[in-house]
Structure 1
Amino acid sequence: MRKLLAATLGVLSAIGGFVDIGDLVAASQAGARFGMAHAWVLLLGVVGICAYAEMAGRIAAVSGRAVFDLVRERLGPRVALLNLAASYLVTVLTLAAELGGVALALQLASRVSYLLWVPVAAFAVWLVLWRMRFQLMERVFGLAGLTLLVFTVALFWLPTDWAALGHDALHPDTAGQGSGAYWFVAVALFASTVSPYEVFFFSSGGVEENWSAADLADARSSVLIGFPVGGLLALSLIATATVVFHPAGVSLSTLDQVAEPVVLAFGGVGLAVAALAFFAVTFGAALETGLSAAYAAAQYFGWQWGKRVSPREAARFHSVLLVSVLAATLLLSTTVDPVRLTEYMLVASAVVLPLTYLPILVVANDRTYLGDDVNGPWLNLLGAVFLLVIVAASVAAVPLAVGTGMGR
């Protein structure tokens, strides 16, 4: 139980990356269109995010400072400002999508238009960010996000051909869909698993919890339990969509359709649990992205920050939180589709990924901050190889988006 509770920060971090509103639809759409052909993308993303989240957590535990704070000091204010601008823009766009996702989940449960739920969702997110203690927040919403395991259970309940799923995963087939669309979906899913704000949130969360070098074991538990769980949730969405929709070639675009495999397995109860799961994961992702936006700004400018101090002591940090939530709400008031918004955000996220992950690798090898706890040779090799993959995804994202019409 202690290990499980220690892992809730990793679970909450993974929820934002693996199963936010765009990924609920994108992962299911990938399964419906390509079957299990993108399973390798999730596996690659889990390995990479675990490596870099471990670095970020170790930096926080040993130095007592968050990653973005050290990026500015180590690489200089100009490079860090570019990182801040790109990260903040992408994170606020994602926050808007997550608030839209919360509203869509409430629409699924109530049949009241999601636009009427947007201000309610925004106020609820801001209230939790303002009043709830960090540790309670991470445990409540990290564990609540596990309700998405209903898709994993449904996979066993449905008439699943496990041999066929395994074959599809090992022998990707793009027949009828095109290689361009296949690779666009691969880049979008990859970007979702290693979203820039994930490592910033995870590192800042470690500081919020007062991690020290003595807490390295708990930090690694959080990484090695939390992020693979996020990957499992996303894989379950792909697999259930493969079983239910892929044979008929059905195209998905709404949360109602995403929930259908669970409804087929468990009926009305399944729909209720799916709606709760959608609410939990999108609300948790909204909390993560809102905090990440404020963390980055406060750490760059050297302000007092965090939920471990009172709002009065960290007034500028909480002001950025409020402004970020308001900006996201105003964006949604234009009636932009939250799902489409997240699809475009994933492309932008892929483009800026190197700005996030290269500085982490640099700081994780700096003995000034970490002493003897710098990266070992094998972790550096893994980090370097994964960074090459990140650069490739960054370079390919826009051409694939334009060339395939966003994978359509």
Structure 2
Amino acid sequence: MKRLLGVALGVLTAIGGFLDIGDLVTNAVVGSRFGLSLAWVVVVGVVGICLFAQMSGRVAAVSGRATFEIIRERLGARAAGANLAASFAINILTLTAEVGGIALALQLASSVDPRLWMPVAALAVWLVLWRVKFSIMENVTGLLGLTLVVFAVALFQLGPDWGELAQQATTLAPSGTETWPSYWYYAIALFGAAMTPYEVFFFSSGAVEERWTAKDVGQSRINVLVGFPFGGVLSIAIAACAAVVFLPRAIEVSSLSQIVLPVALAGGKLALAVVIVGIVAATFGAALETSLSSGYTLAQFMGWSWGKFRRPAQAARFHLTMIVALLVGLSILMTSVDPVKVTEISVVFSAIALPLTYLPILVVANDPEYMGTHVNGRATNALALVYLVIIVAASAAAIPLMIATGAGA
């Protein structure tokens, strides 16, 4: 039973990471423009985040120490500082998108302007972080987020041409009037949405929060292999729903209401209510994760007391960091910036920052001083090196493609 309940951490990370506002928006946009021709990127992303998170979780479980604490000690303050700067900036950008996503989902349910919901959403996130225990937080948001399986149900209810979807998935090229630069730009965006750095910092720091030890390495592996592939399947379902409803009509998804439209068409008001609950839960869970990750990264780097297992008075700077991160994100949103646009930019910049976060974990996972007999095996290292090449290539190509395509326009 304990092992079964422990999977909740992996499920929350998948729902809040794979199925945050970034994944919802990016997959729906890609589905409406490219069909399932980029579904292979989701598969590559699933394998990559499983590898990344498994190494991070193993490092935390075996060493019993926080990720950034080890990175600073192993690589030095300068290298760890570059990692921190990139990670913290991406966390803030992603947190902004998640709070905006909560507000947009609540707008669907109430027709109230999202700018009125944004302060409410930020306050609710802070209250949960301040008062709710880690285990309750992860279980509640994880279970509610599972309602996003309605996208998979809706896909079957829409009665698509499965042969056409299969042909799209096996045609690894842009369709219609789309260009190769746009195709690769959105490939990088999907990859960044799958391998957002905060997912790993939350997962590994959560292992410390739950006091994992070397005996829990197997538990870590189960969490990874259950959570992330589940998120990947639902990601493809979101893209497929958009491909069925919007691609034949040449309509590009540009709002949250369009993302949920296929579900409403397939299941009516009840299905719409379920998907709104799922989106609120997923974006709320992701907002919790990104807020916590902001506190985790800075506190671990600076050597401050941190963790939800400590009372706010015992980890004041950790909690203050999260409050400041939420206020910064809310301030950005109140300038009337489009949360969907923030989301699209955040996933691309996640891909840009990946080498700075992936390489240190790979180095530590191979250091016997920290890992003992739990260092990476040959097969893991071979796959890790392949992904290092992919990550560096995606990071290097992201900015030129963003410029060439006008951010995918």
Q: State TM-score, norm by structure 1.
A: 0.98
Deviation of the 1:90 alpha carbon: 1.1
Q: Distance in 2 between matches of 1:115 and 1:391?
A: 37
Trace 1:25-104 onto structure 2 (pairs within 5 A): 25-104=25-104
Deviation string for 1:344-396 (max 9, x for gaps)? 22222111110000000000000111100000000000001011100000000
Deviation string for 1:249-295 (max 9, x for gaps)? 11111111111111111111111111111111110110000000000
Q: Which amino acid aligns with 1:18?
A: F
> Are 1:377 and 2:383 an aligned pair?
no
Q: Which amino acid aligns with 1:200?
A: F
Structure 2 residue aligned with 1:249: 250
Structure 1 residue aligned with 2:297: 296
Structure 2 residue aligned with 1:105: 105
Deviation of the 1:17 alpha carbon: 2.8
Q: Which amino acid aligns with 2:18?
A: F
Structure 2 residue aligned with 1:223: 224
Greater CA deviation, 373-382 or 26-35?
Answer: 26-35
Percent of pairs with identical residues: 56
Q: Distance in 2 between matches of 1:313 and 1:25?
A: 38
Deviation string for 1:46-86 (max 9, x for gaps)? 00110111111111111101222110110001111111111
Q: Distance in 2 between matches of 1:347 and 1:250?
A: 22
Structure 1 residue aligned with 2:155: 155
Q: Which amino acid aligns with 2:94?
A: T
Deviation of the 1:3 alpha carbon: 4.8
Q: Which amino acid aligns with 1:327?
A: V
Let me know the Cα RMSD of the aligned residues: 1.1
Q: Distance in 2 between matches of 1:3 and 1:210?
A: 14
Deviation string for 1:193-247 (max 9, x for gaps)? 0011111111000000000111112111110001111111211101111111112
Change (3 A) 1:4 1:407: farther
Q: Which amino acid aligns with 2:269?
A: G
Q: State TM-score, norm by structure 2.
A: 0.98
Deviation of the 1:401 alpha carbon: 0.5
Structure 1 gaps of 5+ residues are none
Structure 2 residue aligned with 1:264: 265
The answer (yes or no) to whether the contact 1:39–1:235 under 8 Å persists in 2 is yes
Structure 1 residue aligned with 2:400: 399
The answer (yes or no) to whether the contact 2:60–2:67 under 8 Å persists in 1 is yes
Deviation of the 1:152 alpha carbon: 0.5
The answer (yes or no) to whether the contact 1:125–1:286 under 8 Å persists in 2 is yes
Deviation of the 1:5 alpha carbon: 2.5
Structure 2 residue aligned with 1:240: 241
Q: Which secondary structure state, in structure 2, belongs to the residue aligned with residue 210 of structure 1?
A: coil
Structure 1 segments, 4+ long, off by >6 Å, are none
Q: Distance in 2 between matches of 1:10 and 1:401?
A: 32
Deviation of the 1:164 alpha carbon: 1.9
The answer (yes or no) to whether the contact 1:95–1:289 under 8 Å persists in 2 is yes
Q: Which amino acid aligns with 2:224?
A: V
Deviation of the 1:2 alpha carbon: 5.1
Q: Distance in 2 between matches of 1:115 and 1:300?
A: 34
Deviation string for 1:14-60 (max 9, x for gaps)? 23332222321221111111110111000000001101111111111
The answer (yes or no) to whether the contact 2:173–2:183 under 8 Å persists in 1 is no
Deviation string for 1:98-132 (max 9, x for gaps)? 00000000000000000000000000000001111
Structure 1 residue aligned with 2:188: 187
- The total of aligned residue pairs comes to 408
The answer (yes or no) to whether the contact 1:63–1:370 under 8 Å persists in 2 is yes
Structure 1 residue aligned with 2:166: 166
Q: Which amino acid aligns with 2:152?
A: T
The answer (yes or no) to whether the contact 2:92–2:328 under 8 Å persists in 1 is yes
Q: Distance in 1 between matches of 2:69 and 2:229?
A: 27
The answer (yes or no) to whether the contact 1:105–1:275 under 8 Å persists in 2 is yes
The answer (yes or no) to whether the contact 1:263–1:271 under 8 Å persists in 2 is yes
The answer (yes or no) to whether the contact 1:16–1:289 under 8 Å persists in 2 is no
Deviation string for 1:115-173 (max 9, x for gaps)? 00000000000000111111111111112111110001111111122222122111134
Change (3 A) 1:87 1:252: same
Structure 2 residue aligned with 1:305: 306
Greater CA deviation, 269-278 or 302-311?
Answer: 269-278
Q: Which amino acid aligns with 2:288?
A: L
The answer (yes or no) to whether the contact 2:18–2:232 under 8 Å persists in 1 is yes
Q: Which secondary structure state, in structure 2, belongs to the residue aligned with residue 312 of structure 1?
A: helix
Q: Distance in 2 between matches of 1:21 and 1:33?
A: 18
Q: Distance in 2 between matches of 1:163 and 1:17?
A: 30
Greater CA deviation, 6-15 or 330-339?
Answer: 6-15
Q: Distance in 1 between matches of 2:322 and 2:230?
A: 28
Deviation of the 1:4 alpha carbon: 4.4
The answer (yes or no) to whether the contact 2:25–2:343 under 8 Å persists in 1 is no
Greater CA deviation, 162-171 or 230-239?
Answer: 162-171
Structure 2 gaps of 5+ residues are none
The answer (yes or no) to whether the contact 2:173–2:180 under 8 Å persists in 1 is no
The answer (yes or no) to whether the contact 1:12–1:288 under 8 Å persists in 2 is no
Q: Which amino acid aligns with 1:307?
A: K
